[in-house]
Every structure is written in C-alpha cells, then in structure tokens.
C-alpha cells in the first residue's frame, strides 16, 4: 500500500491511476534530466541503476520522475492479460507496483501510475522537462508528443532479438521459444510510433534461455528475470554515451552503442549460465561500478548477488 506520508493526487483527467508525491521532492540537481517509464522487476532494476548512478556521480544526471504501470486498476489499459503481468498473481502485481512507488518516493521523486495519453500528463512531462526518457517493461503505447519531447531521445528495452525479427509486441518470450532459440538478447531501441519497431541502438551479449538439460523453463517469469538482468549494464552504457556527447556540447540521441565491447567477460559468462526453473533462483546482475569514461574500462571485481 502507498505510504500515508505521500501525497496522492487523483483526478478525472488521469482516466486511471494516481500521481504520488513524496513528503519532500528532491531539489533539481542539474545534469542530464531523466524520466523513467518502467514496471515489474525489469523496470525496478533500471530505477535502481539510475539512483545508484546518481549517488556515485552527483550532478551528472537528474532523475526527475517515474511513470509506472498500474496493474491493480481494472480501468488501466496496460495489456495486463497479454503482457508479462499475466504471469504474476494479484498480490505480486500489487507488490511490484508498490515497490516502484516506494523506491521513487523514498528518493524524493514523484511517481505517476496513470494514462500517459492525456493533457494532464503532457503538462507533467513539460514540468519534468526530460532530456532523456528510458522505458523498460511499460504497458502503454507512446504517442509522438512523448517520444519526440526529450532532446536526447526516448529508448526502450525489449527482451527478445528484434534484430532477427523475433518477439516484437506483447509476447517476446513465447515468440522466442516458438522459434526454437536457445539464447536471446536484450535490445535497446529508439521509441517510435511502431511498437518495438524503432531503430536499434544496441544489443546485449547473448543470454542463455534453456536449462542445463536443454529444455525451456516451465515458468516464463524465469526469462523475465534472466534476460533483463543485463539492463543495469546497458543503462550505464546509455548514460555514458549521452553524457560524453553532452559534455562535448552535442545534445542529440545516440545512434549506436557497442554493448558487446563495453560489457566485460565476467558478466557475459553469467548471462550464459543455464536458466533455472524457479524465477527466484535467477542470478541477478547488480548495476556496474565503473568510471564515466568508457576508455577507462570497468573495475576488475564484479559482484554477483
């Protein structure tokens, strides 16, 4: 449940959902202004990554707001019966939404759970004024006002190999399994009017999606945990690429990132560990710790929790 210390705003203009404000919003800190659209454990990993990046590199980014899915409101149009939400129980759905809200508001960041296709949200977006929007596991189609707004672009993480024309839309894991693939990729692409059809910016190293005996996990939530586990590393790579451009006075979207080059071998090996049958047993990669200059490389020690 939402913390009673938070201010909850509900208006008819939302269509569904709420705007949740922390007791005290963090002051705008300068740096690259970022808004996150995300939900489930994948979106939460990106949120954790952004918060950690901000702690480790003060003044480099300013996470202004979070928009998340509301799987608990029957009026919400987020594809709950088609997307990965269908694999979670009602209690799990509530906990995942509350986790996003709690994490954001604890950091002094407002969290919105309603429709993004109305004038109210457009005014919110103009107030947040992002230079960058990152999307990960978000259930609403994005209109042109939103994806054209940030000067550095809007990017989406998608957990199937779009570069091989596999898994666009609401069933990435099912499509990958139907193709008989034993590995998958996490794709970072620009958001456009075509769902999962924008230009591909970067591709993760391969991720094993079969168990040690060569079969697929019995629960698709295993793949929901395993494939997006690399999103923290990819988020750091995106931030670094945009910050390097901004420091050179170039404020525009990044066209390509070589994630295979910048993600170290230790991480690649973890991604290729056989899948488990239990989502809780998936080895999760923490966000990386490395210098803002990609030329400096990564730290030697990579901790897996």
Q: What is the pLDDT of residue 300?
A: 34
Exposed e or buried b per residue across 180-207, where buried means at least 16 C-beta atoms within 10 angstroms of its C-beta: ebeebbbbbbbbbeeebebeebbbbbbb
Angle between helix axes 40-56 and 90-106 (nearest 10 degrees) is 10
Separation of alpha carbons 264 and 304, rounded Å: 13
Write down how long the chain is: 305
pTM: 0.92
Provide the pLDDT for residue 93.
Answer: 96
Does the structural domain 7-284 have CATH classification 3.40.50.170?
Answer: yes
pLDDT value at residue 18? 94
Rounded average pLDDT per 10-residue block, the chain, 305 residues: 82 90 86 97 95 92 97 93 92 96 96 95 97 97 97 98 96 96 98 96 98 95 95 95 90 95 91 92 69 38 30
Closest alpha carbon to 204 in 190, 219, 183, 223: 183
Packing angle, helices 231-247 and 40-56, rounded to 10: 40
Task: Tokens 């949120």: give the residue.
Answer: 47
C-alpha to C-alpha distance for 10 and 113, rounded to whole angstroms = 10
Query: What integer pLDDT is reported at residue 2 of this predicted model?
Result: 67
Instruction: Give the residue from 175, 203, 205, 195 showing the smallest Cα distance to 267.
Output: 205
């Amino acid at each position: 449940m939402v913390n009673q210390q938070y201010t909850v705003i509900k208006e008819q203009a939302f269509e569904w959902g709420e705007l949740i404000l922390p007791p005290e919003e963090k002051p705008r800190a300068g740096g690259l202004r970022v808004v996150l659209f995300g939900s489930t454990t994948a979106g939460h990993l990106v949120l954790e990554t952004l918060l950690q990046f901000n702690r480790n590199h003060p003044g480099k980014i300013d996470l202004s707001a979070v928009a998340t899915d509301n799987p608990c409101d029957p009026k919400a149009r987020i594809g709950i019966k088609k997307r990965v939400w269908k694999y979670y129980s009602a209690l799990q759905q509530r906990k995942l939404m509350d986790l996003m809200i709690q994490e954001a508001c604890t950091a002094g960041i407002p969290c919105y759970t309603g429709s993004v296709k109305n004038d109210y949200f457009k005014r919110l977006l103009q107030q947040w004024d992002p230079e960058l929007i990152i999307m990960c596991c978000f259930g609403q189609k994005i209109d042109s006002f939103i994806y054209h707004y940030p000067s550095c672009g809007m990017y989406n993480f998608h957990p199937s190999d779009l570069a091989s024309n596999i898994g666009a839309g609401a069933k990435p894991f099912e499509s990958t399994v139907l193709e008989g693939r034993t590995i998958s990729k996490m794709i970072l692409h620009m958001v456009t009017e075509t769902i999962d059809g924008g230009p591909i910016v970067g591709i993760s190293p391969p991720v094993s999606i079969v168990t040690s005996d060569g079969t697929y996990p019995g629960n698709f939530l295993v793949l929901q945990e395993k494939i997006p586990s690399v999103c923290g590393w990819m988020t750091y790579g995106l931030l670094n690429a945009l910050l390097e451009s901004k420091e050179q006075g170039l404020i525009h979207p990044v066209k390509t990132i070589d994630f295979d080059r910048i993600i170290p071998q230790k991480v690649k090996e973890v991604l290729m560990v056989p899948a488990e049958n239990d989502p809780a047993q998936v080895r999760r990669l923490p966000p990386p710790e490395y210098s803002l200059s990609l030329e400096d490389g990564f730290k030697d020690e990579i901790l897996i929790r």
